[in-house]
Structure 1
Amino acid sequence: DECRAAIDASFRLAKSLADDVDFCCFQFDAFGKGFMKGCAVSPDAFIQIALQLAHFRDRGGFCLTYEASMTRLFRAGRTETVRSCTAESCAFVRSMAEPQCSPSERRRLFRVAAAQHQQLYRMAMTGAGIDRHLFCLYVASRLLGVQSPFLAQVLAEPWRLSTSQTPQQQLKMFDLNRFPNHVSCGGGFGPVADDGYGVSYIIAGENLLSFHISSKRSCGHTDSKRFGAHIRGALMDIAALLGAPQQ
């Protein structure tokens, strides 16, 4: 009886969590990494800046943003955090909302933001990120019984936009050009904050992107389908701004 009660309680909790997930999944085939690389922009930087623009249009502001970076250069390395909401990306996003800003200035700000994102990603991959160091300081402070107001504040800040690029392995199994309908959208994850979004994306081949967007139904400020529409719009607006790929 005690075991049955524990199972029933666990089931009810799991069901309530699952029922609260607001999920949207879509494929974006207007362009892919081929166009982005043709514009001399890192595909990941392109998408991350588009996510910042989409979030600004969705929520009217910026938020602490998490992007997972692999640390495979190190033995037993796992992940580090790329804080992709930067001063440079915010400057570009604001320029897109400013009617007086010229297209050339917007392009300049976009490239500055993309370069900064790439630099942060390189730093994270090579052990120069900050979040794993902060976590180690937190563990050491707990071990030593030291109270740190700084660590308490930093580690309590919510990640309202949690993102990750999913590794692409399925394309080794078939010819994407011959069988485009066989592409799987992959998997995703839930939001980290109750009032935030979880966004997983796959860069599939040269001309296809997949997005998984999640949020909580219990939050009245988020809407995964709405955010997906903003992501589509942000990608298209940035592509129009950059124009045809450089030859």
Structure 2
Amino acid sequence: MNATPELSSRTFGNEDALPRVPLPSLDATADRFLEWCAPLLTPDERAETEAALAAFVRPDGPGRALHAALERYERSEGVHSWLDTFWPYRYLGRRDRIALNANFFFLFKDTGEGQVERAAGLVAAALDYKLRLDAEAVAPAVQRGRPLSMAQNRYLFSTTRIPGDEQDTVRAPYTDAWPGPSEARHIMVFFRGTMIRMDVLGPDGRPHTLDELAGGLRAAMKTDPAIEPSAGHLTTKARAEWAASRRALLAADPANARALDDVETALFCLCLEDFSPRDELEACDHLLHGDSANRWFDKAVSFVVFGDGRAGINVEHCGLDGTTILSFVDDLLGSPAGDHSVRSGAVAQGLPAFAPIEFALDDALRADIRDAGDAFAAYAAATATAAVSFDDFGSTRAKELRVSPDAFVQMAYQLAHRRAKGLTGATYESIATRQYRNGRTEAMRVVTPEVVRFVETMDDPGADDAARAAAFRAAAEAHVRRAKECQAGDAPEQHLWELQLIQKRRGAELGITEPLALFESPGWVRMRDDYLSTSSAPSVNIQYFGFGSTSEQCIGVAYVLLPDRFNVYLSTPQAVAGAMRVFADELRRAVRELQDLLATAS
């Protein structure tokens, strides 16, 4: 028997030993795709999809050539995963706005501290983490004895997404252009639309003390308001439009290149709000979008601290997934700020140096910025949200009922959606795959034949409680099986999507230039047209997790499921807000009803 290899304690020490993401065979993916999309299709739609799929995977079909190209790429020198090219296209290739549409947020648990003290504590904790990361002293994440990829941690500090005409790029350390950890010593502070550069590390790289950080923030907040409108508004634009605005900024005055450099190399953003939210929902909404004068949405990490000391984080998604940010946040919030400050080697060295960042604008740029701000405010206003909180249900209760906690809540979503909208629609769930080299997530599609039978049985007047409970358990078990398949890399969507992207990038070279019917088929379109887009973030240090919806009829469902509580943040376009509110009510009903059903039928 082979001995289990000893795990490295260095942050990135296990990366090269991680297994590669499995590349499914084309036939396995084809079978699984048909299985996944079938519950959403009529017989005619299934027949059309089957014909398109058969043409794609026939022995001399385009799917074979595209898959062979992917296999060759996967074997190429320097390639860590067959998804190495997929992820940049998926995230950096999107051309709509990332603010609200792609960035996600966490609302932290409250500490009762005032705004400045809370902000200074977050800065001190983040600096402690950054210095430990630089020294590879952040313990690698481990799950069931297996190390997880820590590659995403390289994007936590001094990382900024740069807009492009056809695809964005990322400015980040640990790259050929910027080898090793970031040597930046400053952060970017936003207050009332004024951008302020603040040096939080001294000349020797040691952090300022907590008192000095707090004093520096108080002084910075007294900076005269900016005369010009905030360039932060521009980060809300569609990406090609923002790329054009960025070029105009650079052409307007050489000072703007220096200002952009300060923003883009800053360790992170700290956004200080001048108001206190009425409730948790308003706090969540402002973490999701907020006043874009007080944001730089392209920054990987932006801490947001409200006037009453409540706080959270807004994250740019291209290099960072929720699991990485959860570990980061748990580290920051798991110990008192004073402990972080001491561990970081903070030393008294006077108040941090700070200075406002000013862009030189002409009339066209001023108008561009104001228009961007107005357009985003209108876009945010056209988004409806809701918070649903359960203080009497959590993962402990689900386990008492002998069901997977995630399967329980996913079945509750399906039942609530069927009752709210009268249909069962495509549902996405993010499944983490960091056990693989450079692993990120897999796309799981929740609707199975068992789910369809479950929601139909629940409202079938001819079904008794035993039949309903049996249908629920069958659907929950199917959910668990599919989640395990996704964790093992046995999922069709991203595989087929990458084949579609290979044709887009290299179709002429491979002789595949004709439109592929598979990607116009009802199965492909329907499976990916989300009615529910779901993802979870379990941590005692956060109250809510959230993101925007992904389509005109979609409800974004971000949930924090803990042993003793279950909090859900919902988002959808205002045009269908009524259905979201009905869904919220039906979700409350479903969680109660399913608990009672399983308790009495067991």
Q: Which of the numbers 129, 141, 166 marks the counterpart of 2:537? A: 166
1:152 Cα deviation (Å)? 3.3
Give the whole-Å Cα distance in 2 for the aligned partners of 1:148 and 1:168: 43
3-state SS of 2:431 partner? strand
Q: Is the 8 A contact 1:82 1:120 kept in 2?
A: yes
Q: Which of the numbers 586, 589, 594 marks the counterpart of 1:230? A: 586
1:100 Cα deviation (Å)? 0.8
User: Are 2:467 and 1:110 aligned?
Assistant: no
3-state SS of 2:544 partner? coil
3-state SS of 1:25 partner? strand
Paired position in structure 2 for 1:56: 418
Give the whole-Å Cα distance in 2 for the aligned partners of 1:5 and 1:218: 29
1:225 Cα deviation (Å)? 2.7
Bigger drift between 58-67 and 78-87 goes to 78-87
Give the whole-Å Cα distance in 1 for the aligned partners of 2:576 and 2:601: 40
Bigger drift between 236-245 and 151-160 goes to 151-160
Q: Is the 8 A contact 1:80 1:125 kept in 2?
A: yes
Q: Deviations over 1:164-190 (max 9, x none)?
A: 1123251xxxxxxxxxxxxx4222111
1:213 Cα deviation (Å)? 0.8
Q: Is the 8 A contact 1:198 1:215 kept in 2?
A: yes
Paired position in structure 1 for 2:574: 217
Give runs of aligned pairs for residues 170-189 of structure 1, distance below 5 A. 170=541, 184-189=542-547
User: Are 2:438 and 1:76 aligned?
Assistant: yes
User: Are 2:519 and 1:151 aligned?
Assistant: yes
Q: Deviations over 1:87-113 (max 9, x none)?
A: 101101100110111211111111111
Give the whole-Å Cα distance in 2 for the aligned partners of 1:187 and 1:68: 14
Give the whole-Å Cα distance in 2 for the aligned partners of 1:96 and 1:223: 20
Give the whole-Å Cα distance in 2 for the aligned partners of 1:99 and 1:25: 31
Name the amino acid aligned to 1:240.
D
Q: Is the 8 A contact 2:421 2:579 kept in 1?
A: no
1:144 Cα deviation (Å)? 3.2
1:245 Cα deviation (Å)? 10
Name the amino acid aligned to 1:217.
Q
Q: Deviations over 1:72-92 (max 9, x none)?
A: 111111111111111101101
Paired position in structure 2 for 1:24: 386
Q: Is the 8 A contact 2:530 2:553 kept in 1?
A: no
Give the whole-Å Cα distance in 2 for the aligned partners of 1:16 and 1:49: 34
Paired position in structure 2 for 1:37: 399
Give the whole-Å Cα distance in 2 for the aligned partners of 1:238 and 1:138: 40
3-state SS of 2:576 partner? coil
Give the whole-Å Cα distance in 2 for the aligned partners of 1:231 and 1:185: 19
Give the whole-Å Cα distance in 1 for the aligned partners of 2:380 and 2:478: 37
Unpaired segments of 5 or more residues in structure 2?
Answer: 1-362, 508-512
User: Are 2:568 and 1:197 aligned?
Assistant: no
Name the amino acid aligned to 2:552.
D
3-state SS of 1:218 partner? helix
Q: Is the 8 A contact 2:393 2:564 kept in 1?
A: yes
3-state SS of 1:186 partner? strand
Q: Is the 8 A contact 1:36 1:245 kept in 2?
A: no
Give the whole-Å Cα distance in 2 for the aligned partners of 1:138 and 1:5: 39
Give the whole-Å Cα distance in 2 for the aligned partners of 1:56 and 1:245: 23
Q: Is the 8 A contact 2:469 2:601 kept in 1?
A: no
3-state SS of 2:437 partner? coil
Give the whole-Å Cα distance in 2 for the aligned partners of 1:16 and 1:78: 33
User: Are 2:467 and 1:96 aligned?
Assistant: no
Give the whole-Å Cα distance in 2 for the aligned partners of 1:219 and 1:186: 22
1:218 Cα deviation (Å)? 2.3
Q: Is the 8 A contact 1:68 1:79 kept in 2?
A: yes
Name the amino acid aligned to 1:210.
N
Q: Is the 8 A contact 2:465 2:601 kept in 1?
A: no
Q: Larger RCO: Structure 1 or Structure 2 (Cα < 8 Å, ≥ 6 residues apart)?
A: 1
Q: Is the 8 A contact 1:39 1:245 kept in 2?
A: no
User: Are 2:377 and 1:15 aligned?
Assistant: yes
- Percentage of pairs with the same residue: 30
Q: Deviations over 1:192-221 (max 9, x none)?
A: 1112211111112x221001011111237x
Paired position in structure 2 for 1:181: none
Name the amino acid aligned to 1:96.
M
User: Are 2:124 and 1:124 aligned?
Assistant: no
Give the whole-Å Cα distance in 2 for the aligned partners of 1:169 and 1:66: 24
Name the amino acid aligned to 1:127.
G
3-state SS of 1:199 partner? strand
* Count of equivalent residues: 231
1:149 Cα deviation (Å)? 1.5
Give the whole-Å Cα distance in 2 for the aligned partners of 1:149 and 1:76: 32
Bigger drift between 64-73 and 4-13 goes to 4-13
Bigger drift between 226-235 and 137-146 goes to 137-146
Give the whole-Å Cα distance in 2 for the aligned partners of 1:95 and 1:224: 23
Name the amino acid aligned to 2:584.
G
Give the whole-Å Cα distance in 2 for the aligned partners of 1:130 and 1:9: 41
